[in-house]
Structure 1
Amino acid sequence: MDNCIARQPIIGKDGKIAAYELLYFQNSQTVDSPHDFHTAQAIVQFFNQLDESSFLDGRDAFLSFTPNLLMQNIPRVFDPHKLVIQVEDSVLVHPVARMMLQRYKKQGYRLSLSGFQFNSRYMNILSLIDILKINFEGISQKKLDTYLSVAKEFNLKLAAYHIDTPEARALAESNNFDYLQGTDVADISQSKAQKNPKHLQSNFFRLMAAATREEPDLEEIAELIGMDVTLTFSLLKMVNSAYFAIPNRVKDIKQALTILGLGQLRQWIYLLSFGGEGDFTDEIIKISFQRAVFCQALSQEIPDFPLAYSEAYMLGMFSILDRLLDVPLEQALKSLPVSDELKDGLIKKEGMCGSLYRLTTAYEQGEWPRVTRIAQELNLTMETISRKYLEAVDYVTSTWNSLMEPFDGSVQTTEKEADN
């Protein structure tokens, strides 16, 4: 069965990811149709097989429910303290669904109302709701003031979605919204992620150039890292993490590079160059890491894909380079020794590389018709795409958490990914 699920980040007031909205798709699915029965079965099966804590990375989940799904007790698949039941306003006036929502509310689930339209018939049941979710696409200040008044009267938290421009973000922040959701967490945070972009650009380009030569010079790389306290700190922190589980603390740059290996140095060069610049930047790096693993895995399933295994990783990783460096992507890629196919894929979105990149971003946003169309272009099944996405999320979550955790001597060593 071709079932897909994606997670879309929801940002809190502190700029960190507070939750994920889970975007679900099944090939036989239509909106609130008799297929809800099959959708319910698939969701239960999906989350029984899924490591929920890894997929959500400890965050809450927002998931949309139809009346049918509510009546089939699908919310009970989740921990009441981790799930926000999201419904459209029409569900509130459905007599049985409303009764189910009251029951779930008593069990500790939070309720979010999405796409709320101001109507007097909804006002007497807003006491059920915890979060009012507002569509910011083309919203006027007058209409927003009405929503703010309703939220204040019923003591509701406010979530804004379709935060796709800096103007929309500024409007939501100025009105003290609790949650923001847009096309990409990088779009939301990029202006705050840059503390010293010129210095970061210098770090990145010098290290990347040295690491991607045909015959990299370990002495040169060690010297470059040794000249920069940020790079040195990041390298030693990474090698002494629980991911590597080295029994004796590593204090030497050359020893650290030997343990890391050139393959993993290239993979985690963002973390070395930009790590520690703040939570905003860390989230962008995680997105690049996830895209890199996802693109690399899918590239092996695409007939006659033009990039080598390691370059497919770079396709995903470099897709957010403009946001990290605060320069146009075309300008950033000019300085790197990568193929024209990769550059055209990211800049012009052309060729098979462009199709894979577009597939990656479409899947992240839950744009299922686009995903289906591009999958057919690349001769990929939805089952393969879904499986590789979940594997990428799980790998990135576990790897990232291990890299961020200092090794205390009690962590079991695990087999690491081979150098590319």
Structure 2
Amino acid sequence: MIARQPIVDAGHQIVGYELFNRSQASGDHTAASDVSLVFNALSHVGDEDLFGKLFLFVNCTHASLGGGHLDLVNPERVVLEIPAVDNASAQDIEHRLPILAQLRQRGFRLAFGQYVLEPAYALWRPLAAFVKLDLSLIPNSQLKEVVKAARRSTDAALIAEKVETAEQYDRVSSLGVQLFQGYWFAKPTLVKTRIVSPSQAHIIQLINLVRNQASTAEIEEVLKKDAGLAFNLLRLINSAGFGYAREVTSFRQAVMLLGLKKLFRWAALLLTATKSSDGQATIGNMAVVRGRLMELLAEQVMTPEDADNAFVSGIFSLLDVMLGVPMSQAVEMLTLPQSVMDVLVHQQGPYAPLLELASACELGDEDRFNSACQALQLSGQQANWAHLQALAWADQMVTQA
């Protein structure tokens, strides 16, 4: 569960959202919960992209600021909310300055609470893109002086948070504050996030390949053998949070663009977020068999590019079952060639007979099987042989994993 609360400007237009992790019953804010929040936001399967086109404010602990999970997001879209240092000396505050400066250099915007106006935090102030003023902690009599101090000592935009009444809004806006957050505008709304769970064994195999600096082709083979793994990777690299400008539709392209370092970090995070499920594994295996069968059949009658698309069509043909949503909604979460979209959503296009044949093989439907073979101008022997090869290929993958 992720909660999202808007941050608005003086015209009440939303400029960003602050995310809160609501998955932990204890409510503890830890480095692990920071990583989980960002990863789940990136991999979220739902009706909307949590990142969208706005700023995303994410609360951080100092322990999480060096985490590799931050390599997976577009820094120009993310604002890291930096907490004060508990019971810290001037030396402790100065010790944390280099990592904050590095994050700012990488393109992340940093937000600090009003504590940054205290003398001990003077070194941090030049890094501030935002300073959040908590109205629940600032007496009305001191508000004007706090705003003046913030303007005098930083170049940051000011955000008044915990604005709960019209009087509070009028008072702080009259002082020139232009950004606001609080119950008077909107309470945090819960978003149920889900991740499509691939096989843990396949994730481990992928991690091992990456650690051994395997070839792109070897890594691509693992992705092709797990529908959940493939879905999550394409979901990540085409998400607004990742920030890649071009649409990525092939596994090979995704691997090359992501690079081994980021691929390793992503796989490690996915492993911690994945729960094993016998039902999900069965569906995933069926999807793999479909993909391989359709690829083998396409290689006999189509171009190599069509064979690749046939595989993608097969491995994502059960995506609606895996996600529990209609296929038309499921495919909107991925960037796929139009020919693949046509067969998945409308059962039309050049790959439709291949998917029909794969379905007939699963069901043992002789009439559908013969009809699909005729449409593809393939003999029953060719189709049966390809099906056996696909089953063996999928079984081999399970054994290797």
**TM-score higher than 0.5 here?**
no
Higher-Rg structure is 2
| Larger RCO: 1 or 2 (CA < 8 Å, sep 6+) | 1
TM-score bracket for the superposition, by shorter chain length? 0.3 to 0.5
